[in-house]
Amino acid sequence: MTIPLTKRNTAHAGSIPPAEDVLNVMTRELERSLKGLVVPGSPRPYEMLYALRRVETLSLSAAYGALWRDRASTRSTIYCDIRVGNYQFDNVIDGGLDDRADERESVDWIDAPDDLELQALQIALWKLTQLKFDEALEDYWDHRKALVSEHLRHEVGALTRERPVVHIEPLSHDPFPREAWTQALVELSRRFLEHPEVYDPDLTLSATRTQRWLVTSEGTRVLTEDVYVRVGAEGWILSDDGVYVEGSRDRYFRSVDAVPGREGVARLVDAVLADLHELQTADSPGAVIGPALLSGQAASTLFHEALGHRLEGERLIARGEAKTFAHKLGERILPRGLDVHDDPTTTRSEHGEELWGSYRVDDQGVRAQRATLVEDGVLKGFLSSRAPLPGSARSNGHGRHDGVERPMARMGNLIVRSREVAGLPWSTLRQRLLEIAREQGRRHAVVINSIRAGETTTSDYDFQVFKGELADVTMIDVETGVERRIRDVELIGTPLAALQRIVAVGRDYGVDQGYCFAESGSVPVSGIAPSILLSELELQQRSTTSYHEPLLPPPFADDGSRGRQQRLRERGRRRRTDKHKKR
């Protein structure tokens, strides 16, 4: 059920005013500020933006048949952007990458009334606007001062000119099905009582409903609502050599109705338990280098870290950025046959998975658009916000932020496609993997089935590298073809080298989802990519510390025995005895 825009939901606790009334108040205060913010001898605002976010969150966590966390909250925050000067030169330098909102006084005044009482909201906007205006003037003169000592050779204009957007969506105030979700999590978490070897198990469900109002001095009026739900299961197990190894599964949804019932969550628990028992006896090979086969999910993470972040527009104009691809427009940066685009308007994958990176209007009031990045391996464009780029004076709707930091160009749904009608099947890729390993004289080849998380650096101060935390990786013996699970390794690489080592592409596609962290804060993203074969990839050792098991078993599993170490010693004695008998 959705609530009409012009009707107050009186049945909902903490009812809020009609959504259009909120937009009107924001517009009136913006117009009042635009006229009244005048300091003799200083530039006046030429563009202003107000945004309001009302975020409802529910966080549930269960383990051992108990509800460990049950938190529900509502928080409303406001954002104000003031540009003083003109479209060619204003108070923002380096695309705002170094603004650091948490270091400014204005960050202490971003709270809005949770019930959105109109007069209180207007007062909150007035207070924040004054502080933001003071900071804008200080930044403007700092920008001027930088011109005295530096040549800002990559600076191109201050703000793109965009058409006003009017986009209004209905809002829902239906509560999350908290009780049903809680019961399912608590019931299923009792299964961990049957597995004392699993440490710190956790069944979690987090749900967020974000309602956003946005107005600009250019005439843009936006009202949107987005729901994000994540269901996860995780646990840890102690390997025989004393390393705590994690097993986890997560699923992502964009609507309450899509969240799985008890059976779906039970399958997550089954997968994690099976994963942990396999990891407990898995090998830890240390550093590895050689050919590698990556699933679509793993490949998506690699493209996100090695390529996607380096195509974010602000990184082409900001001092302190390495600008990996800044001078490579029109050049080949990927093997032939690969296309890359980012399309926030795509809402589902081919297999029907709801994409977290989808949105309709970005956080600068520009409609979401498909951005063509790579065609047939050749770099064709960049992700852009309203920060002008060399050769481009328009945004492609990728200005995003967390509601606190300044928006910048960010990925939404980064999609990699093969131009071939049908890529290679997994079995063929695996065969070619072994052939390449033999040609290189390698004893082993690596298959990466999933990556848990990734990170990268793009500044000119740090090394240009990326890293991936591997969740499921196996090693194949080249001679026998035997495949075994390995652990305690993570992939590392340099972006240009890794991308050029793609030698084959699969026909199956995988999806990677979650939150991405960068200078403009945390934003939900998705990635879609085919499986890929790399001629060479490096893995490094991850853990270096070993632990002993707890001196006592968990209370629910204390049978009076001396614990696992005693059982291992007894098992070792039996093996030695058996060996002696054979002799």
Q: What CA–CA distances, in Å, run from 60 to 192, 200, 236, 523?
A: 17, 15, 19, 21
| Radius of gyration of the chain measured on its C-alpha atoms | 27
What is the mean pLDDT of the segment spanning 331-347? 96
Predicted pLDDT at 582: 45
Q: In the predicted model, is pLDDT for residue 11 greater than 70?
A: no
Report the phi/psi class of residue 152: left, alpha or beta, with left for phi > 0 and alpha for psi in -120 to 50. Answer: beta
Q: What CA–CA distances, in Å, run from 373 to 325, 417, 430?
A: 11, 12, 29
What is the mean pLDDT of the segment spanning 249-276? 96
Determine whether 289 is exposed, middle or buried from the number of CB atoms within 10 Å of its CB (0-12, 13-18, 19+).
middle
Predicted pLDDT at 419: 85
Q: In the predicted model, is pLDDT for residue 13 greater than 90?
A: no
DSSP state of 444: E
Beta pairing class for 288-294 and 444-456: parallel
pLDDT in tens, 34-50: 999 999 999 999 999 99
Per the DSSP assignment, residues forming a β-bridge with 224 are 212
Q: With cut-offs at 50, 70 and 90, classify the pLDDT of residue 128.
A: very high
- Please name which of 206, 214, 22, 176 lies closest in space to residue 113, comparing C-alpha atoms: 22
What is the mean pLDDT of the segment spanning 542-556? 86
What is the mean pLDDT of the segment spanning 443-448? 96
Residue 375, H or E segment: strand 371-375
Predicted pLDDT at 566: 55
pLDDT in tens, 67-119: 999 999 999 999 999 999 999 999 999 999 999 999 999 999 999 999 999 99
Q: In the predicted model, is pLDDT for residue 219 greater than 80?
A: yes
pLDDT in tens, 347-372: 999 989 999 999 999 999 999 999 99
What is the mean pLDDT of the segment spanning 506-530? 96
In angstroms, the CA 481 to CA 41 distance is: 76
pTM of the model: 0.92
Residues 6+ apart with CB under 8 A from 293: 429, 430, 433, 445, 446, 447, 448, 531, 532, 533, 534
- Of all residues in the chain, what percent carry a pLDDT higher than 70? 93
**pLDDT mean across residues, the chain:** 91
In angstroms, the CA 355 to CA 347 distance is: 5
- Give the residue extent of every domain in the chain: 19-280, 288-541, 552-583
pLDDT in tens, 233-262: 999 999 988 899 999 999 999 999 999 999
Contact 50, 125 (CB under 8 A): yes
In angstroms, the CA 126 to CA 129 distance is: 5
More confident residue, 152 or 448: 448
DSSP state of 361: B
In angstroms, the CA 91 to CA 97 distance is: 13
In angstroms, the CA 510 to CA 501 distance is: 20
CATH of domain 19-280: 3.30.2290.10
In angstroms, the CA 303 to CA 220 distance is: 34
